[in-house]
Structure 1
Amino acid sequence: MPQTSHQDSSTKPHVIVLAFPFGSHAAPLHTLVRKLATEARHVTFSFFNTEESNSSISVLESEDLDNLKAYNVPDGVPENYVFTGRRQEAIGLFMKSTQGNYKRAIHVAIGAKKISCVMSDGLLSFVAGEMAEEMKVPWVPFWIPASFTLYTHVHTDLIRRRIGTAIDATVGREDELINFLLGMSEFRIGDLQKEIVGADLDLPVAIAAHRMVQMLPRAAAVVINSYEELNPTITDYFKSKFQKCLNVGPFTIMPSEPSDSDQNGCLLWLDGQKARSVAFVSFGRALSPADHEIAALAEALEASGVPFLWSLKKSLWTVLPDGFLERTEGKGKLVSWAPQVEILVHPAVGVFVTHCGWNSVVESVMGRVPMICRPIFADHNLNARMVTDVWRIGVRLEGRVFTRDGTLRALDLIFDDEKARKKMREKMGVIKEMMIKAIGPGGSSSENFKTLLELISNLEA
């Protein structure tokens, strides 16, 4: 039962939470904090995030909790700044100003009130961890992707010694197995994040991730959006490495505040389609495939005759083949936003064409929808390998990119081979049950959440 208290807010333990406002990072952190705030009503939570990100994850849904409040932080973009198109440019501007912007926002929001704990996205370790040490309070980082992706980051220095740090260090070695990392023997060098080996070592996220690795052993607890049974070898390693390692996920399958309404009528459209007949296409909030790949995917969808529901940024509609929308009217539906969680559990959806972000993979498993994988960056290749070669619940595109013919063959593998699709769905059912068991009563994630709740509940005011 939630704890209640009539303490004055100035005498309550106070947790400040620092979000990373890019991609799908902020939403799971807010969900975690909301659940903690619901259970520990005597603790005050202040959630700091950019205005745009706060708006996108509907933090106002928390207005019913008087101990959780969201505050806006500047995004670091100078007034009248003109973007040049460099990769991670917005992230770089945010990171550059992060420490000062957060400190100023916290001072404006809570003044001189005592802070009892700092929670943060793992990528903000360089700010949150140092801030907590200055205040002499516990620091609790939350890693949003799967545990095996954190495992590779923790071994960044070892990986770089084995493979090298040159831009072309992985060329010709993409299919070599990562045999030197226990628990990763089914993954390959080409699956590793480019922020660890490859072309992206100097990008803001790569620098932040490497600094995070150095800070994590100093955290009071490292919280992960995964579950212990996913990889027991990695779970045991983290338990020996960190003061506390708490897998509390997958958090996207836990009940949370309702998503935005189905403003584009996606679910109503799906209601009119045959069972397991629709290809759902979505690449998340961050990056999309190259323009020529989007055009090739459109050509494949049209040529296949498969009904499709495609969530694509409006700015990218111009790269679709001329007349595509007119020729596919009635057969397909193109929208700028779609309620992904609800779509993936709809009985009409037969395949998910995805970038393989961790949240998307989990949501696809929960709907038992096989995947066609087109990883884009960061942890996507590792997740795609998990889907295609470890779990065997999806297919990878030939050459890892969309071409008309390669995409047609991938669609055929899913829709024309009923035996293969049935086997994938059966395997997904087993994985789904494992995830549900982890977050259920007495499950590993549920027990780890209790440990986290106890840590937060016993903070000093």
Structure 2
Amino acid sequence: MEKLGKPKANRLVFLTSPFQGHINPMLQLATILHSKGFSITIVHLQFNSPNPSNHPQFTFKPITDNLSESKVLQGDILGTVKALNKNCQVPFELYMKQMTEKEDSDDRISCIVYDGLMYFAHTVANNLKLPGIIVRTSAAAGIFNFTVFPHPHQQGYISLLDSMAEEFSTELQSLKLKELHASIKTEYPPDAVLELRAIITSAIKDSSAIIINTMSYLEREALTKIQDIFNASIFPVGPFHKLAPTVSNSLLQEDRSCISWLDKQAPKSVLYVSFGSIVSMTEDELLEVAWGLANSELPFLWVLRPGLVRGSDLLEPLPEIFKKRVEERGCIVEWAPQQDLLAHSAVGGFWTHCGWNSTLESICEGVPMLCRPFFGDQFLNVRYVCHLWRVGLELEELEREKIVKAIRKLMVDGEGEEVRQRAVEFKEKAKLCQIEGGSSYCSLNDLAEHISSY
């Protein structure tokens, strides 16, 4: 509900996608823009819908998605994204038409702000003659990579990268985009992946503005190159989670008992382990992770969520011998309040899949990372973390002896101490972005003025 007695601001309609790693940053961005005086309507799907009680200042509207929950649980991300864009356009456009018919001059719709995976929203915005602002919840370099490689067989795209290669400075050279693109394997047909990338790239090109959850000092060259390619204004307004009040939008129940366990541990002694909300692995891989943690002889806090093991919705039981081995120095929970854990003084390292949200959260708390990517832009993020920023170490294989070696290198050895010092430096730089006069602070003000001009 809107506060009584307060003049209504221009209304922003946010369209979210149903993935945990996308819901959080979209609601954080909505909170940030609400603090700038905008009224907010959150349009969301019935599947994985956010909890409206966490945000009483917003209006929430569910729309029909006709999505099979089993399809999502099976990990078919590409099929899910395509189904969402096919199923949701009509109900979303119908709702938007109803809103525009009812609006008055004190509460007009300013624009549609949509998750980049929900690219159909751009068509709806065009049909209703409304500005459409796309939000990228991943790294800026991911947009640049999409643009260079929407279809590797299409004339001009590889040559674009080759012709620009000499202009690349340390940042983009370190990412080795061409090599990275060729090395990433996917379970989906290549043509289907490339078609989706091309569609998303088209939506980015045609958007009225692009909001990116990043900081200028992290991706200075990538942001410059993107602005050279696109006509739309680009606003690096990150990190969203630090610019918005902390409200949990977790789809899973957080087990906060692990915080009291951390309180009993020595400073910087615990390795926090979490592979995000949608990564899956085989049972053999899970056991390699488990014995790697056990054999490291170091304390750890492991998020072992239901569904982490491929093909199973249930928490896979670990061997009793493992449980006895680690009962004094291991804490295992199904889900955890990650931001609070990373800020805890006992956490000295983060073993992560390198999703962008986790990467930003770790940087903002100065926690060095052990990186093992699984799919998609996680491989790009690892290049940033380990090769350019050097605030983490890469683990290339889930094999227990290599896991032990990597954990001890990060948490105990001299190389890990160097990584830790750089992580602390990056934390301080992140703070400077957020304060008055900082790059994200200024970009946010520019964004609010840009939206107000519609």
**Paired residues, what number?**
430
Report the counterpart of residue 131 of structure 2 in structure 1.
138
Where in structure 2 are the equivalents of 1:340-355 lying within 5 Å? 340-355=338-353
CA contact (8 A) 2:273 2:300 kept: yes
CA contact (8 A) 1:61 1:257 kept: no
Matched, 1:435 2:430: yes
CA contact (8 A) 2:31 2:244 kept: no
Where in structure 2 are the equivalents of 1:378-457 lying within 5 Å? 378-397=376-395, 400-417=396-413, 419-457=414-452
2:62 to 72, 81, 89: 72
Question: Residue 24 of structure 1: SS of its match in structure 2?
Answer: helix
Q: CA deviation at 1:105?
A: 4.7
Q: CA deviation at 1:326?
A: 3.9
Matched, 1:212 2:200: yes
Q: CA deviation at 1:311?
A: 0.7
CA contact (8 A) 2:273 2:351 kept: yes
Q: CA deviation at 1:362?
A: 1.4
Matched, 1:185 2:173: yes
- CA 1:206–1:333: 2 relative to 1, 3 Å: farther
Q: CA deviation at 1:208?
A: 3.7
Question: Residue 184 of structure 1: SS of its match in structure 2?
Answer: helix
Report the counterpart of residue 365 of structure 1 in structure 2.
363
Report the counterpart of residue 225 of structure 1 in structure 2.
213
Task: State the distance in 1 between where 2:442 and 2:389 align.
Answer: 25
1:262-287 residue CA offsets vs partner (Å, 9 max, x unmatched):
63401100001112211111011112
Question: Residue 350 of structure 1: SS of its match in structure 2?
Answer: strand
- CA 1:273–1:77: 2 relative to 1, 3 Å: same
Task: State the distance in 2 between where 1:74 and 1:122 align.
Answer: 19
**One-letter amino acid of the counterpart of residue 22, structure 1:** F
Q: CA deviation at 1:205?
A: 6.8
Question: Residue 431 of structure 1: SS of its match in structure 2?
Answer: helix
Question: Residue 54 of structure 1: SS of its match in structure 2?
Answer: coil
Report the counterpart of residue 20 of structure 1 in structure 2.
17
2:91 to 85, 97, 101: 101
Task: State the distance in 2 between where 1:204 and 1:128 align.
Answer: 20
Question: Residue 393 of structure 2: SS of its match in structure 1?
Answer: strand
Q: CA deviation at 1:51?
A: 3.7
CA contact (8 A) 2:272 2:302 kept: yes
Question: Residue 202 of structure 2: SS of its match in structure 1?
Answer: helix
1:428-448 residue CA offsets vs partner (Å, 9 max, x unmatched):
122222222222211121111
Q: CA deviation at 1:141?
A: 0.7
| Contiguous gaps of at least 5 residues in structure 2 | 159-163, 310-314
| Larger deviation, residues 199-208 vs 228-237 | 199-208
Report the counterpart of residue 301 of structure 1 in structure 2.
293
Task: State the distance in 2 between where 1:231 and 1:69 align.
Answer: 34
Q: CA deviation at 1:71?
A: 1.6
1:277 to 258, 264, 269: 269
Question: Residue 16 of structure 1: SS of its match in structure 2?
Answer: strand
CA contact (8 A) 2:353 2:378 kept: yes
Where in structure 2 are the equivalents of 1:107-118 lying within 5 Å? 112-113=102-103, 115-118=109-112
2:114 to 109, 120, 129: 120
Q: CA deviation at 1:110?
A: 7.2
**One-letter amino acid of the counterpart of residue 407, structure 2:** L
Report the counterpart of residue 234 of structure 2 in structure 1.
245
Question: Residue 352 of structure 1: SS of its match in structure 2?
Answer: strand
Normalised by the length of structure 1, the TM-score is: 0.83
**One-letter amino acid of the counterpart of residue 407, structure 1:** I
**One-letter amino acid of the counterpart of residue 214, structure 1:** S
Normalised by the length of structure 2, the TM-score is: 0.85
1:54-96 residue CA offsets vs partner (Å, 9 max, x unmatched):
33xx442221x2xx212222342259x7789473244443233
Q: CA deviation at 1:324?
A: 2.5
Q: CA deviation at 1:193?
A: 8.6
Q: CA deviation at 1:17?
A: 1.4
Q: CA deviation at 1:21?
A: 1.4
Task: State the distance in 1 between where 2:430 and 2:405 align.
Answer: 31
Q: CA deviation at 1:319?
A: 5.8
Task: State the distance in 2 between where 1:162 and 1:301 align.
Answer: 48
Q: CA deviation at 1:187?
A: 2.0
| Larger deviation, residues 88-97 vs 378-387 | 88-97
**One-letter amino acid of the counterpart of residue 25, structure 2:** P
- CA 1:281–1:83: 2 relative to 1, 3 Å: closer
Question: Residue 293 of structure 2: SS of its match in structure 1?
Answer: helix
Task: State the distance in 2 between where 1:257 and 1:358 align.
Answer: 18
Question: Residue 174 of structure 2: SS of its match in structure 1?
Answer: coil
Q: CA deviation at 1:148?
A: 1.1
* Identical counterparts, % of pairs: 25
Task: State the distance in 2 between where 1:31 and 1:291 align.
Answer: 35
Task: State the distance in 2 between where 1:116 and 1:163 align.
Answer: 37
RMSD between aligned residues: 3.2
- CA 1:380–1:83: 2 relative to 1, 3 Å: closer
Task: State the distance in 2 between where 1:131 and 1:15 align.
Answer: 15
Report the counterpart of residue 45 of structure 1 in structure 2.
40
| Contiguous gaps of at least 5 residues in structure 1 | 166-177
CA contact (8 A) 1:95 1:204 kept: no
